[in-house]
Chains A and B, each alone.
Chain A
Amino acid sequence: MTADALVAAAGGNGDEPATPDVYEQRAFGFWLYLMSDAIIFSLLFATYAVMARNNAGGPTGNTLFSLPNAFAETMLLLFSSITFGLATLAMKSGEKERMLSWLLVTFLLGLGFVGLEIREFHGMVRAGAGPDRSGFLSAFFTLVGTHGLHVTFGLIWILIMTSQVVIKGLTVPVTSRFLRLGLFWHFLDIVWIGIFSVVYLPGIL
């Protein structure tokens, strides 16, 4: 973002002071960030796998997790991935209205996902299965909560991008940011594959 600010300072409204090279570098930098995020998540997965059976006599995944809820969350994220892809395609063909409407759909799907997750967490804490109950639950809330926080930040980013597209239009810096948001959003769906395959499905089984 500081580099973006520099570009904006050098060339005003982002009208092309930067060579395409700069955007490639930013895409690569963001890619490196995603890789470090992948390492964080894989270590949280490892922690969860080690702690999964340490329920300290408390509730286990079999009683806490709901298969329909996990399935609904999975579908919401998967559909939001494809609607984000449709927004990207609309952006590439320069159709601003279509891009904004797909972005809105993506935002609503993501919001539905976060809503379901908050409801699930709230129900678990109220049932006395909060993160302080057992090692298993600490690891569960850390892993799934970190992913949920990422999705929440993704939602904020979608709102910011929407306003930038509305205000600035489809300029080169805006589209380059939008493509990075796309990497982030698709990455979060990949992490979710790991969560339902490592946490929810084996827990319910």
Chain B
Amino acid sequence: MGPSPEDTDRGPRSHLTDIGRSLRSHLADTGRALASHLGRIGRELPGQLRHIGRGLLSLLTHIGRGLTHIGRGLTHVGRGLRSSLVGANRSLRSYLAGIDRDLRPYLIGFALALILTAIPFALVAFKPLPKAPTLIIIGVAAAIQVLVHLRYFLHLDLTSTPRENLVAIVFTAILIFLMVGGSFWIMFDLHSRMAM
């Protein structure tokens, strides 16, 4: 498809004019479209921003409400926990009151002994503390557990146990203190003197 004879007749100049005209109209079209676009954007932007703002605001409100809900939930959980603890305590007490009076000391002693055994073994198994505090806790737990056994398994008590039994155990404690303490004094003193 070549140019028509009339076109060729008009010559290159008129061609150029045509191109220029169409170019101008094109540019004008583009400009108009651009302007209308910009106008639309300008018109719509505040709306969009408002939308976004509103969205953000509602999001924040939602989050806030959610946090309040969570807070309320936590309070609920806390209250529930407290009431369940109180309930457990109460039911434990009523359970203990319900069972045989003679059985009670054995169960209490058993529970305490289990706890006082679990603590030192756990400290040695998982080593959460340095050596010195671990040793101290082991010693304290053992001393308390000995008292628990004397009280709840051997039923030693300051009122119902015969007086001479108490005198005997106090005398034994004094003897043990003197002999064990004296041995340690002498032997560890010897150790440190030998090391000098």
Q: Which residues of A contact B (CB under 8 A)?
A: 24, 28, 31-32, 35-36, 38-39, 42-43, 45-47, 49-50, 67, 70-71, 74-75, 78, 81-82, 85-86, 89, 92, 183, 186-187, 189-190, 193-194, 196-198, 201-202, 204-205
Known: A24-B162, A190-B149, A202-B138. 16 other contacts (CB 8 A): A35-B172, A39-B179, A42-B180, A43-B180, A46-B179, A46-B183, A47-B183, A67-B125, A78-B113, A82-B106, A82-B110, A86-B103, A189-B153, A196-B120, A198-B142, A205-B135
In the complex, the answer to whether A89 meets B103 with C-beta atoms within 8 Å is yes
Contacts from B to A (Cβ < 8 Å): 100, 102-103, 106, 109-110, 113-114, 117, 120-121, 124-125, 127, 131, 134-135, 138-139, 141-142, 145-146, 149-150, 153-154, 162, 164-165, 168-169, 171-172, 175-176, 179-180, 183-184, 187-188
What 9 A-B pairs come out closest when comparing CB atoms?
A: A197-B142, A85-B106, A35-B172, A186-B153, A42-B176, A46-B180, A50-B187, A46-B183, A82-B110
| Cβ B154 vs Cβ A43 within 8 A | no
Bound complex: CA A136 to CA B117 (Å): 25
Interface of A is mostly: helix
Most buried by B among A39, A74, A82: A82
In the complex, what residues of B have CB within 8 A of residue A205's CB?
A: 124, 127, 131, 134-135
Contacting pair A67 B121 (CB below 8 A): yes
Contact, CB under 8 Å: A81 / B153 = yes
Residues of B within 8 A of A82 (CB): 106, 109-110
Structural contact, B102 and A89, CB atoms closer than 8 A: yes
10 contacts between A and B (CB under 8 A): A28-B162, A78-B114, A85-B106, A89-B103, A186-B149, A190-B146, A197-B139, A197-B141, A202-B135, A202-B138
Bound-state CA distance A71–B131 (Å) is: 20
Min Cβ gap B81→A in Å is: 30
What separation, in Å, do the CA atoms of A24 and B102 have in the docked complex? 21
Q: Are B154 and A186 in contact (CB under 8 A)?
A: yes
The closest CB in chain A to the CB of B161 belongs to A31
Interchain CA distance A50-B127 in the complex, whole Å:
25
CB-CB under 8 A from A75, the residues of chain B are 117
Minimum CB–CB distance for A41 against chain B, Å: 9
Question: How near does chain B come to A20, taking the closest CB pair, in angstroms?
Answer: 13
A201 to B9, CA, bound (A): 116
Question: Which residues on B sit within 8 Å (CB–CB) of A70?
Answer: 121
Residue of B nearest to A86 (CB): B106
Question: Which of B100, B120, B139, B172 makes the CB contact (< 8 A) with A39?
Answer: B172
B149 touches A189 (CB 8 A): yes
Q: Contact between A89 and B106 (Cβ–Cβ < 8 Å)? A: yes
Identity of the chain B residue whose Cβ is nearest the Cβ of A49 in the assembled complex: B184
Residues of the A chain whose Cβ atoms lie less than 8 Å from the Cβ of B127: 205
